[in-house]
Amino acid sequence: DVKVTQSSRYLVKRTGEKVFLECVQDMDHENMFWYRQDPGLGLRLIYFSYDVKMKEKGDIPEGYSVSREKKERFSLILESASTNQTSMYLCASSLPIGQPSSYEQYFGPGTRLTVT
């Protein structure tokens, strides 16, 4: 079974703190994604990566950065957390284009971040 794990289920941080959200997958997937989920807005893509050290902006990258030093790990960084970044953050991984079932994303359990 594919497993995607996220470092914390719940996190509380103060405004201005630097926040790291970690995501690890164990299926050697090339693609990894970070989303935030807010009520009424669905999932919005923040950043994605299709290879080590590669990253691409999604729909809402402002205020975030990412790091992918190893294939299995994709980190989301909030350089200076703000209250409007309070949200559920979901990580996902998938196989690259052309591979069977590459359309299916495997999601982690999510991290509910509260910035006070």
> Interface residues with another protein (CB under 8 A)?
31, 33, 35, 40-45, 48, 50, 56, 58-59, 88, 90, 92, 97, 102-107, 109-110
Q: Measure the CA dihedral 70/55/110/35, to 10°.
A: -170
42/69 with CB nearer another protein: 42
Closest to another protein by CB, 85 vs 94, is: 94
Residue closer to another protein by CB (options 86, 102) is 102
- For residue 16, the minimal CB distance to another protein (Å) is 28
For residue 78, the tally of other CB atoms under 10 A from its CB is 19
Structure tokens that stand for 19 in this block: 């926040």
Q: Where are the beta strands (DSSP E) in 4-116?
A: 4-6, 10-13, 19-25, 31-38, 42-49, 56-57, 65-70, 73-78, 87-94, 106-107, 111-115
Shortest CB 53 distance to another protein, Å = 15
Minimum CB distance to another protein, residue 30 (Å): 10
Q: How far is the CB of 42 from another protein (least distance, A)?
A: 4
